[in-house]
Amino acid sequence: MKEQSPRKILVALAGLAALLVVLVLTAIVSILLLYTEPEWLSVSDKPELPTGNPVTIEEEISEGVHVPTGFKVGEGLELVIGNCTNCHSAKLVTQNRFTKEGWINVIRWMQETQGLWDLGTNEESIVAYLSTHYAPEARGRRKPLEVEWYDLE
């Protein structure tokens, strides 16, 4: 067995002591965080879920469209922005088309599976806005193609 020099032993012991200090400090900080709330994590800094109150639209509206979201301007727009865009993009709303019953079903699904809060008295206005501005569209058939034929020679 090879004999270790006293210097190597001291370096190894110093390394173990440093590791022990780090572990003890980590445990102390963890315990303090469990039993006290630091100032940087105060309740006032935590995001709150919306109460369902309408938001004030201060952003630009152009040609009947709320530019930042792409929503059509209409009664209930503020409620839709305040309740829908907290969890997902406005694009997810604008790309869908449902009847009044369809929008209610989507809302129920989000409440049951995605954690959507109770919309309370605002639900009727939200559904009315969505079913008015994002209702199914009758598309019909496409126009016939207009082709200019030519002779192959």
pLDDT score for 2: 66
- Amino acid symbol at 66: H
- The percentage of the chain sitting over the pLDDT mark of 70, rounded to a whole number, equals 83
C-alpha Rg value of the chain to the nearest Å: 31
Confidence bin at 61 (pLDDT 50/70/90): confident
* Whole-number percent of the chain with pLDDT over 90: 48
∠ Cα 66 70 74 (to 5°)? 50
Extended beta strands in the chain, E state: 61-62, 65-66, 71-72
Reply yes or no on whether the pLDDT at 54 is more than 70: no
Read off the pTM: 0.55
Using alpha carbons, list the distances in angstroms from residue 57 to 9, 65, 73, 84, 85.
69, 12, 11, 14, 13
pLDDT band at 4 (very low <50, low <70, confident <90, very high): confident
Say how many CA atoms lie within 13 Å of 64 toward its Cβ.
Answer: 3
* CATH number listed for the domain at residues 61-133: 1.10.760
For residue range 107-127, what is the model confidence (pLDDT) as tens digits? 999 999 999 999 999 999 999
Dihedral pair phi/psi, residue 57, rounded to 5°: -90, 110
